[in-house]
Structure 1
Amino acid sequence: MKERVESDELRLLRLLNARTTLSEKDRKNLISSEKGYLGELKFDEWAIPLVNEMVFLNDLLLEHQGSIFQIDSCAIASKTIFHFEVKNFEGDYQIKNGNWISPSGEEKKDPLIQLKRTESLIRQYTQQLGFHCNVESYLIFINPEFYLYNPSDNPYIIYHPQLNRFMKKFQSRSLKLNKFDLKLAEKLCSHHIEESPYLRLPDYSFENLRKGILCPGCGGIYESSLGRSLVCKSCGGSELKSPAILRTVEEFKLLFPDEKVTTQRIQIMCGGIYSEKIIRNSLSYHFNMKGYGKHSYYI
């Protein structure tokens, strides 16, 4: 019912990585976000056999009594919410004195604590909405290259080698979708918070960003146009003029949601590779113009 999409934070970090130099902290955040998203996509592939038996909701952001919580994935069937926390950890991890230690020696938050917190909030939240149902939570380690030393004996932790057996266990439960499940799923979707208040982004400004049209293949900047097309010297990819301009407009809107889309601003954003006339024609064709002359902008 709610498909998975890349988060605004991930999309913004990608754009900033292409148009500025990220600090080491922000670069690590980008790598972590990319890896987490890839892990969630792998989970979605694993869950395909269940989509006809359960209704899936991905990347839900909800608020309960001032506490905002995110659900990576959940599925609803037979008046039960199955909550999945997906981790794409890689390498050998250890638990020392209750702390999770990564292969690099970095201390990580205990994902079991996060799992239980979210489970409790899901239960409280659904009861507040008038839905009384069971909640089952599972911590899924999706990466086959992950290993945990000194693990706790917890049946709700699922490692990659256990995924096939875990699937068979689900399929043997004869789960059924009913009106209660669909109504609950629709209610949760309607309460999803679109914009996260916790974006982890560096400070940036229009003036400090590298200008130009980004190649969707490699993330490099097109250096010149060839007729109606743009050709990337780095990867050899090509793209027609119109979709390249439109994609750059969408990037501008994501980076600067409070700024107006104007011909001049978009021409600068495109690195001056096209004239104002070409930019204006493209904007006029795909957007609605407001105002007149120098004060005109597009929505």
Structure 2
Amino acid sequence: MDMMEMTDMSYMINRMERTNETKRKKSDQLKILESLNSRTHLAHAQQQYMINLQKGFEGEALFDKLIQNYLGTDRECLQDRLITYNGSTAQIDALILIGNTLNLYEVKNYEGEHQQLSGHFRRLKGQEFICPSIQLNRTEKVLRQILSQWTETFEVHSYVIFVNPAFTLYDAKISDPFILPTQIRKHFEKLKKNQTQSSKECIRLINKLQSESRSGEKYRGTPQNYAYEDLRKGLICSNCHSFNLKLTQRQAICRDCGEQRKNDRLLLSHIDELTLLFPETKLTTALVYDWIDGKLIKRRIGRLLHSLS
């Protein structure tokens, strides 16, 4: 295999790795909070934090759908990555390579009417918070510092994109790096029009950023303390987290939302949940049986655990 073939193979491997990451997954932190919210009482602050994480995840999933609809799958993209330079760490929601230009996005799923003040946003109900362009500027600064070590030939365009159609912003300036809901279509149609083949140098850059960054998952904190004996046991709907399930011989049906799931698949999700909540605990048939409150027979549990070992 010559050097060109090796380079092409390396590109394909990195492309496949990024493609496998295209569909965003809930962070472990969000999954833990949702589990605890179903099985115990979350403090109000933790509930609000969970809701914010849920809205953030929903916004990023909506953004991904926009990218898919307008740009298809044949594009270079990094999602939910942490970059670090000289001790400064920043999180990239999305970085899309179009031609030889890097498009950096801070994705927001805000809802309702907001006003932009000096360095702040204010909900019309009165709550103020830091303007998202400040976080965007920080991320762009770290990204440019990293790029300056490798190359000087890339343009970086940075945006805060508001994906929720129910969002309204007053007092925004034309010079602000904002993509409002009514501007999304025009923005991505323009990108699509400029969607030319990226140079090998650009592709190498994306591969390098992929390999030298890390998942944003590790950047997130830990929820409140909890103990096994304090958590409610039983089977939970994977969609709405309700305990109100109807079990048949083959599947579980949620009486609240109608979600249907094969029993083995549902059981596997509860094993994953138990492992996530208590990673140091050894899984046994008896433990899993207790965790699901005996809703499925031990023989099924043992068989599934054996297949995972």
TM-score by length of 1: 0.86
User: Displacement of 1:117 after TM fit?
Assistant: 0.5
Q: Which residue of 2 aligns with 1:297?
A: none
User: Displacement of 1:174 after TM fit?
Assistant: 5.0
Q: Which residue of 2 aligns with 1:86?
A: 107
Code of the residue aligned with 1:31 in structure 2: it is I
The answer to whether structure 1 residue 282 and structure 2 residue 300 are counterparts is no
**Distance (whole Å) between structure 1 residues aligned to residue 296 and residue 207 of structure 2:** 45
**Distance (whole Å) between structure 1 residues aligned to residue 227 and residue 283 of structure 2:** 15
Q: Which residue of 2 aligns with 1:27?
A: 47
Q: Deviations over 1:44-83 (max 9, x none)?
A: 2222222456311111122222222111111113332110
1:156 to 177, 182, 193: 177
Spell out the pairing of 1:119-138 with structure 2 (5 A cutoff).
Answer: 119-128=140-149, 130-132=150-152, 133-138=154-159
1:221 to 237, 243, 254: 243
**Distance (whole Å) between structure 2 residues aligned to residue 84 and residue 137 of structure 1:** 6
Greater mean alpha carbon deviation, residues 78-87 or residues 51-60 = 51-60
- Is the CA contact 2:103–2:156 (under 8 Å) kept in the aligned structure 1? yes
Q: Deviations over 1:197-217 (max 9, x none)?
A: 432522212222111121224
Code of the residue aligned with 2:187 in structure 1: it is F
Q: Which residue of 1 aligns with 2:232?
A: 210
Q: Which residue of 2 aligns with 1:294?
A: none
Change (3 A) 1:25 1:104: farther
SS of the equivalent of 1:153 reads coil
**Distance (whole Å) between structure 2 residues aligned to residue 161 and residue 236 of structure 1:** 34
The answer to whether structure 1 residue 255 and structure 2 residue 283 are counterparts is no
- Higher-helix-fraction structure: 2
Change (3 A) 1:235 1:41: closer
Q: Which residue of 1 aligns with 2:3?
A: none
1:176 to 170, 193, 197: 197
Change (3 A) 1:192 1:270: farther
Q: Which residue of 1 aligns with 2:63?
A: 43
User: Displacement of 1:283 after TM fit?
Assistant: 0.9
- Is the CA contact 2:115–2:170 (under 8 Å) kept in the aligned structure 1? yes
SS of the equivalent of 1:47 reads helix
User: Displacement of 1:162 after TM fit?
Assistant: 1.4
- Is the CA contact 2:116–2:122 (under 8 Å) kept in the aligned structure 1? yes
Identical aligned residues as a percent: 31
User: Displacement of 1:89 after TM fit?
Assistant: 1.0
Greater mean alpha carbon deviation, residues 50-59 or residues 19-28 = 50-59
**Distance (whole Å) between structure 2 residues aligned to residue 176 and residue 155 of structure 1:** 29
Q: Alignment RMSD, CA only?
A: 2.3
2:167 to 138, 146, 151: 146
User: Displacement of 1:265 after TM fit?
Assistant: 2.0
Change (3 A) 1:5 1:131: farther
Code of the residue aligned with 2:40 in structure 1: it is T
Change (3 A) 1:231 1:84: closer
User: Displacement of 1:118 after TM fit?
Assistant: 0.4
Paired residues, number:
286
Change (3 A) 1:229 1:67: same
**Distance (whole Å) between structure 2 residues aligned to residue 109 and residue 241 of structure 1:** 45
Change (3 A) 1:239 1:176: closer
Q: Deviations over 1:161-217 (max 9, x none)?
A: 112221232233353222122222222222332442432522212222111121224
2:36 to 10, 16, 28: 16
Change (3 A) 1:224 1:168: closer
**Distance (whole Å) between structure 2 residues aligned to residue 9 and residue 68 of structure 1:** 19
- Is the CA contact 2:32–2:277 (under 8 Å) kept in the aligned structure 1? yes
Q: Deviations over 1:114-150 (max 9, x none)?
A: 111000111112333x243221101111222212222
Q: Which residue of 1 aligns with 2:79?
A: 58
TM-score by length of 2: 0.83
SS of the equivalent of 2:218 reads coil
